[in-house]
Structure 1
Amino acid sequence: MALADQDQKMGMREHWKALLIVCLVSLSSFQYGLDFGIIGGLQAMVGFLQVFGEEAPETPLGWNINAERQQLISSLMILGAFISSSTAGFTAKYFGRKMSLWIACVGVFVSTAVMQATTQIGGLGFGISIFTYWVSVGSLVGTVVDNFAAKIHSRNAYIMPLGIVHVIPLILTIGLFFIPESPRWLATRMDAAERALRRLRPAGWSVADEMDEMKTTLAAEARLQSSVGYRTLFENPIDRRRTILSVLGLTTQAASGAMFVISYGTYFFEMANVGNAFENSCILTGTGVAALLFNALIITKYGRRRVMMLSGFTVCGISQLVMAIVYTIEPGTQKTGKAIVGLSVVYIVAYNALISTYAWLSGGELASQRLRSHTFGLATALGFFGAWLTTFTAPYFINPMKLGWGPKYGYIWTGSCVIAGAWIWLYLPEVKGRTLEQIDEMFEARVPARKFRKYQCTGHHATLDEKPQVVHVESQSNHGDGSEPKTSTVNVTGTEI
C-alpha cells in the first residue's frame, strides 16, 4: 500500500503513539516561557532584592537592583538561548534527539540548583547563561508563580519559583526512557531505524515503504546541502532580495520593543508605582496568551501579513506614545498607573495577535525553498541579537539608578514602531493564499511588493481569484517552517493588475 493511501486511511487515532510522544516532547517548549516568566518577576521581589540588590528608599519597593546586574540577568538568558539554538543542530546530529534533550534537562537541573544555592551575583549569572535551551510558551505560569511567591520577604521568595523549574525536566527525563530515537537520525543504521519506526506506527503500516521514502529524501537533502552555503543567500539579486525580506520580516519583532515588556514587565510596573505589579503582570501575560489563541483560530482565513503586521505596529506605537505622554504629564498617580496597565495590555495583545506570529511566517514564507534552512537560521540568529540588544539596554532607561525614564521609554519604541511600519508598507510582500511555487514565480518576475496580492501567476500556477487548493507555510507554534504545498493545475493568462 502506498504511503499516500495509508495517510488517507489512518488518522490521529491510529497514530496515538506518535501523538503522545509529540505531546511529551513539546513540554520542553513550555520551559522557555516559564524561565522568562519567573526570572522577569524575581527582579521585583523584595526577597530577591535583599540578596542581590540594595536598599533604595526613594523607590516604591524600598529596594532596587543596579542596572548592570539587571542587564546581565535578562540578557544572558537571551545569549544562552542564542548559543544553544546555534549548537542544537550539532548536538542533535552527533548525539541524537533523545540524548540532546537529556543533556538539556541535566543543564536545567544544574543551573537552577546553582541559582538557588548561590548568594553571589557571579554564580547567578553563570547559571542563567546556560539556563535556557528550548523555545516555549510557559510565561503565564511563571508569572502566576511569582505572584504568589512575591508575598514572601525572604530568600524563599525566589528559591520556591526556581524549584518549579525542575518539574518539566524531571517529567522529560523519565518520559524519554519510553520513546524511541528519531528514525531519521538512525537512518544510517537501517535495522535500528526500522525498529524505531515500527514503535511509532500503527499495526498494518507499510514500514518498508516509508523507509525507502526516507532514504530517498535524506539523499536529496544531502545533495542540496552540499551545493548551498551562506554565500549563496546573496549571490544573485533574487535570492538576495528574498533573504533580506525574510531576515527583516522576522526581526521586526525586536523593533516592537516586546522583549522589554516580556523581560521587565513586573519590574517596570513596580518602578512606575502602578500598584499590584505582580497581579497586573498576570493580567498582561494572560491577555497576551488569549490573543495568541484567538489568532490561531483566524490566521488561515484572515491572516494577511501586511495588514496584520502594519496594524500591529500602529497599535503598539500609539500605545507606547500615549503611555509616555501620560506619564510625562502626571507621573506616579493612581490614574496614570491604571492608564499604564491598560495601555500595556493593549500593546501586548497587538503584539501577540498581529506581529509575533506573522513575523515568523514572513521569515519562513519569503525565503527561497532551496535556501530556507540557511535563510531561516540567519534570520533567527539576528532575531535573537535584536532581543538581546533590547534586554541589555532597557535597564539603562528604566532603572531609577540610571536614567529612570520609566514609561517615558515608550518614546523610543514609538519611533522604532514607525520605522518598522514604514518598512512593511514599502517592502513586505503579501503572500497569503499563495503556494510556494507561486511565491517563487513572483520573485522571479521581480513583482513589486505592493502588487504581490493581486498578481496573476502564469503557466501552470492558478490565480487567487480561482481559489486554488493550497497549503500555507504557517505554524501556530511560531516557527514558520514550510511544507510542500498541494496545488491545482490551471491554465491562466499572466497579467499584472
Structure 2
Amino acid sequence: MVGAAISANPLKLDVRSHIKCLLICFVATIPTFQYGLDYALVGGFISMPGFLQVYGYYSPELKKWNIDPTVQQLISSLMTIGTFVSSLLVGPFSSKFGRKAGLWTASILNAVATAVMLGTTSIGALYAARLILGISVGWFLTFSQLYVHEVAPAHLRGIVFAVYQSQLSIGSVVGASVDFGTHTLDSRRAYQIPLAIFFAAPTIQSILMIFFPETPRWLMVQGKEEMAENSLRRLRNSKINELELQAELNEIRGSTREQLEQNKKALFIDMWRGTNRRRTILSVCVICFHAANGSSWVNIYTTYFLQVAGVKNPFGYSIMVTCFGLLGVLVSITFVRYVDRRNIMLVGVLACGICQLVPAITWSVSPNTDVAGRVVVAFITLFTFSYVAYAPYAWLLGGEYPNNQFRAYVFGLATAMNFLGNWLGTFTAPYFINPASLGWSAKYGYIWFGSNMVLAIFTWFFLPETRDRTLEEIHEMFEEKVPARKFKSYICVGVEGLAAEVVGKDPDKARAYHVEMDSKAPADHVERV
C-alpha cells in the first residue's frame, strides 16, 4: 500500500541531507559485486571449451565438450558450502572484532582463492579455492549488510538495499559480458581473464573502508558510548541539526541499554528465547526466500540451461537476462520508499512463481521446439527482473527484525540457512536439467512454482511491515508482541519518548519536535500519547 508511514525517526526525511551516509553505504556494499560476478562467470565457464578442456571431457554422443554432473555440482556448490560455514561464524567474529574487520578478512581470503584458481589445473585445488572463495563471499555479503543496516537512516534503508542489489546485478552483467568476450578462446585464458576481475572490487573497498567509522550500534553494544556518538557524527551530515543527532543517538543508546539488560551475553541459544524466538524465525524465513523461489538454479545455470534447451547464442542471451535483472532493481528504487515492503514481497514471489510455471507448461506441451526455446528465454528474463526487483528487501527485512545485540548472530544464521538452500538448489539442478541425467529442462519449474506459492502465503499471514521504522522502533514492537498485521499502524511511544528526552528541558523545542514528528504520521491517525 502506498502512503505515509508512522515513524519516530528524528532525522530529516529527505535524501539530500544524507548523501554522505549513502556514499558510505555504497562503498560498504561494493563487495556484493563479487557474488553476482561469480554466479555469472561460473555459469559461463561450464559452457567454455577452454575451461572444459581442463576440467571436462569430450562427449562423442553429444559431439561437443561436456562436464561431468558431479564436477559441475562441486564447482558450483562448494562456494555455497563456504558461504554457509562463514555465515555461521559471523556472530562470534563480529561480537569481538566488529563489522569492518569482517570485510577486511573477506578481502584477504578472496585474494588467496582467486590466485589459486588462476594458477591451478588441478581439480582438487580448484575445489579448495571454490570453498575458500565461498567463505570470503559469505562474509562480504553478511558484513556489508550488517554495516548498512546499522548506519543508514531508517527512511533510506530501502534505497540502500536497492543499491546493494544493483551492485550484485552489475557484477552479473559484467561477468556475463566478459564471458561472452572470452568464451571462444581455445585456451585457459578463456576463464583466467574473467577470474582476474575478482581482485578489483574487494581491493577498492578495503582501501576506502579505512576512512569510515565502525557502526554506532555495534559500538553501543560494546559499551563504547562516546565512540558510538563520534561514529554517528561521522556518518551524518556535518551540518545536521544537533537536536536531530542527539535524538537519534538517545534512541540508540536507550534501546540498546534495555536490550543488554534483558540479555547479558549474546549467545546462540538466547536467539530462541522469549520474544527473540519470533524475530529469529521471521529473519531466517524471509532471507531464505532467495533460495526457496528458484533463483539459485536460474542464476548460476542460465547460460548452461539455455544451451541444453536448444537456444541459439546462449552467451548473448545470458547478458540480456542479467541486464534485465539490473533493470529490475533500478525500477524498484523508484517505489521502495513509497510502497509497503509486504506488498513488494508478495507481488515479487507471485511473479516469480508464474515465471517458473509458464516455461514448464510450454516445455511439457512442445519440448525441444523453437517456440519453447523462445518462451524459456522470455520467462527466465521476466523471472530475473521480478526476482531482482524484490530480492534486496528480503535481506532488508531479515536484518531489521533482530535486535542490536543479536543482529549478527541471527543474520549470520539466516544467511547460512539461505546458502544451504542455495547449495541444495545448485547441487540438485544438474540432475534435473543435464541431458546426461533426468533431462527435465524447463519442466523443473513446476517444483519452484509450488515453493513460490508457499512464500506468498507466508508473506500474507506472517511478515510484519517495517517501512520507515527505526531499528529501535522495530525492537519495541516485537517486545510488545504486536501482531504482524498491526505493525504498520502501531505508535512506538517508548522510542519516541527516548528521542523527545533530548528536547524535554526546553518546552519550545519540545513542542517543535512533536509538531515535526506528528507531521510524519498520516493525518487521520490517532493523537500521539
**TM bucket, shorter chain:** 0.7 to 0.9
Query: How far is the alpha carbon of 1:380 from its aligned partner?
Result: 2.3
Would the alpha carbon gap of residues 275 and 367 (structure 1) be closer, same or farther in structure 2, given more than 3 Å must change?
A: same
Letter in 1 for 2:83: A
User: Which residue number in structure 2 is paired with residue 86 of structure 1?
Assistant: 88
Alignment check: 8 A CA contact 1:49 1:64 kept: yes
- Alignment of 1:346 with 2:382, yes or no, is yes
1:431 pairs with 2:484: no
Please tell me the residue identity of whatever aligns with 2:70.
E
TM-score by length of 2: 0.72
Greater alpha carbon shift after TM alignment, 260-269 vs 87-96: 87-96
Amino acid at match of 2:462: L
Question: Which shows bigger deviation, 249-258 or 340-349?
Answer: 249-258
Query: 1:306-325: CA deviations, max 9, x gaps?
Result: x3333333322222222122
Give the Cα–Cα distance (whole angstroms) in 1 for the partners of residues 254 and 181 of structure 2.
54
Residue 63 of structure 1: how far off its partner (Å): 1.4
Whether the 8 Å CA contact 1:46–1:153 is kept in 2: the answer is yes
Residue 443 of structure 1 and its aligned partner are, at CA, apart by 8.1
The letter of the residue matching 1:109 is A
Pairing 1:160–2:193 present: yes
Query: Taking CA–CA contacts closer than 8 Å with sequence separation of 6 or more, which of the two structures ends up with the larger relative contact order?
Result: 2
**CA distance 1:191–1:243, shift in 2 (3 Å):** closer
The correspondence for 2:439, drawn from 392, 401, 404, is: 404
Provide, for residues 384-437 of structure 1, a one-character-per-residue CA deviation record: whole Å limited to 9, x for no partner.
221121112111211222222221211221222233233334x22452558564
What amino acid maps onto 1:408 in structure 2?
A: K
1:261 aligned onto 2:294: no
* Stretch deviating more after TM superposition (142-151 or 434-443): 434-443
Alpha-carbon offset, residue 283 of structure 1: 0.8
Specify the SS of the correspondent of 1:298: coil
AA matched with 2:347 = S
The residue number in structure 2 matching 1:300 is 337
For residues 227-246 of structure 1, what are the structure 2 equivalents within 5 Å? 229-236=267-274, 239-246=276-283
Choose the corresponding residue for 1:150, options 161, 183, 186. 183
Q: Distance in 1 between matches of 2:184 and 2:204?
A: 28
Contact 1:56–1:64 at 8 Å: present in 2 too? Answer: yes
Measure the CA separation in 1 of the matches of 2:23 and 2:453.
44
Distance 1:460 1:193 in 2: 24
Matched, 1:413 2:448: yes
Deviates more, 1:391-400 or 1:368-377: 368-377
Instruction: Note if 1:28 corresponds to 2:64.
Output: no
Quick one: which of 90, 115, 118 aligns to 2:117? 115
3-state DSSP class of the match of 2:335?
Answer: helix
**Alpha-carbon distance change, 491 to 173 in structure 1, aligned in 2, over 3 angstroms:** closer
- Judge conservation of contact 2:213–2:234 (CA < 8 Å) in 1: no
Aligned match of 1:388: 423
Letter in 2 for 1:54: Y
2:86 matches 1:48: no
* Root mean square deviation, CA, Å: 4.3
User: What is the percentage of aligned positions where both structures have the same residue?
Assistant: 37
Unaligned runs of 5+ in 1: 1-5, 462-484
Q: Is the contact between residue 442 and residue 457 of structure 1 (CA under 8 Å) also seen in structure 2?
A: no
Q: What's the CA shift for 1:376? A: 3.3
Confirm or deny: 8 A CA contact 2:360 2:443 kept in the other structure. Answer: yes
Structure 1 residues 431 and 27: alpha-carbon distance in aligned structure 2, compared to 1, 3 A threshold: closer
Q: Does 1:226 align with 2:264?
A: yes
Tell me the amino acid that sits aligned with residue 164 of structure 1. Answer: I
Structure 2 counterparts to residues 185-204 of structure 1, below 5 A = none
Cα distance between partner residues in 2 of 1:391 and 1:66: 14
Q: Deviations over 1:243-281 (max 9, x none)?
A: 333322221222111011111111111111111111111
Which residue number corresponds to residue 351 of structure 2?
A: 315
Unaligned residue ranges in structure 2 (runs of 5+): 1-9, 142-166, 495-516
SS of 1:63's partner is strand
Choose which of 300, 303, 307 in structure 2 pairs with 1:270: 307
Number of equivalences: 455
Q: Secondary structure at the match of 2:301?
A: helix
CA deviation string 1:11-69 (max 9, x = no partner): 978986x776554443223222222221221111121111111112444x711111111
Aligned equivalents of 1:171, 1:316: Cα separation in 2? 34
CA contact (8 A) 2:306 2:314 kept: yes
Distance 1:335 1:26, change over 3 A: same
Tell me if the contact between 1:458 and 1:493 (Cα under 8 Å) persists in the aligned partners.
yes
**Counterpart residue identity of residue 178, structure 2:** V
- In structure 2, relative to structure 1, the CA distance for the partners of 1:224 and 1:39 (3 Å cut) is farther
Q: Is the 8 A contact 1:458 1:492 kept in 2?
A: no
Question: More displaced, 27-36 or 276-285?
Answer: 27-36
TM-score of the superposed pair, with normalisation by structure 1: 0.76
In structure 2, do the counterparts of structure 1 residues 226 and 168 end up closer, same or farther at CA, with 3 Å as the change threshold? same
> Are 1:457 and 1:492, in contact at CA under 8 Å, matched by a contact in 2?
no
The superposition leaves residues 274-300 of structure 1 with CA deviations (integer Å, 9 ceiling, x where unpaired) of 111111111111101111111121012
